[in-house]
Amino acid sequence: MDLLLDHNVPDSVAVVFREFGHTVHLVREILPTDSPDPLIAAVADRDGYILVSCDKDFEKIAPRIPVGSRTRFRRLNRISLDCSETQAAKRVQATMGYIELAFTKTQFEGKRLRIVIQNGGIKIIE
């Protein structure tokens, strides 16, 4: 998997993904630190990255997109970390098998990946 980690994702999450052999890019390495969420989403979508974020701001992007441009983020793959930052790396590590399986399935079916990792479980949104 090729991932783009948002500013608010702990570096320990990047370490876990890399330990499992995945490529990790950090937003702070390719965009200015004050880059708005729609720009981050556009870069992830354009470059085929799975966007990993700890905030819910990305849920609010779709309603702000003009109707004629709504196809813009249809391919955006996302993993949302809806757990405490101190638990994020442990939760990613514990659910990596599910994440990889969901990714493989969505790639095979031509769908986008949407996962929410929580303190008590994982949600795969189809």
Interstrand relation of 2-5 and 50-53 (parallel, antiparallel or unpaired): parallel
Q: What is the pLDDT of residue 98?
A: 95
Q: Which two tokens stand for residue 67?
A: 């109707």
pLDDT per residue as tens digits for the range 68-109: 544 555 678 999 999 988 899 999 999 999 999 999 999 899
**Whose structure tokens read 């793959």?**
77
Residue 13 above 60 pLDDT? Answer: yes
Confidence tier at 57 by pLDDT (50, 70, 90): low
**Any idea which of 12-26, 95-109, 112-126 has the lowest mean pLDDT?**
112-126
Q: Where are the domains of the chain?
A: 2-124
Confidence tier at 59 by pLDDT (50, 70, 90): low
CA distance 16 to 96: 9
Across 7-30, average pLDDT = 96
Q: Which fold has domain 2-124?
A: Rossmann fold (3.40.50)
Confidence tier at 33 by pLDDT (50, 70, 90): confident
